[in-house]
Amino acid sequence: MTGWGEDGGGGVSDPKDQMCYVGFAACGCAVAATVDVPNHAKDNAKFVAGLIRDGLTVERRTVEWCRENLLRCTHKKAPAVAQGTLVL
Ligand SMILES: [Zn+2]
Helical (H) or strand (E) element with 68: helix 63-69
Q: Tens of pLDDT along 16-66?
A: 678 999 999 999 999 999 999 888 899 999 999 999 999 999 999 999 999
How many whole angstroms from 18 Cα to the centroid of ligand 1?
24
Q: Ligand 1: distance of its center to the CA of 61 in Å?
A: 17
Distance 25 CA to ligand 1 centre (A): 7
Which residues are CB-neighbours of 42 under 8 A, at least 6 positions away? none
> Collapsing DSSP states into helix, strand and coil, what is residue 51?
helix
User: Can you give the pLDDT at residue 82?
Assistant: 43
CA gap 77, 1 in Å, rounded: 22
pTM, two decimal places: 0.67
Residue 13 CA to ligand 1 centre (angstroms): 31
Identify which has the larger pLDDT, 6 or 32: 32
Task: Break the chain into its structural domains and give their ranges.
Answer: 15-69
Are 34 and 58 spatial neighbours (Cβ–Cβ below 8 Å)?
Answer: no
> Which 3 state secondary structure label does DSSP give 84?
coil
Q: What distance in angstroms lies between residue 26's CA and the mean position of ligand 1's atoms? A: 7
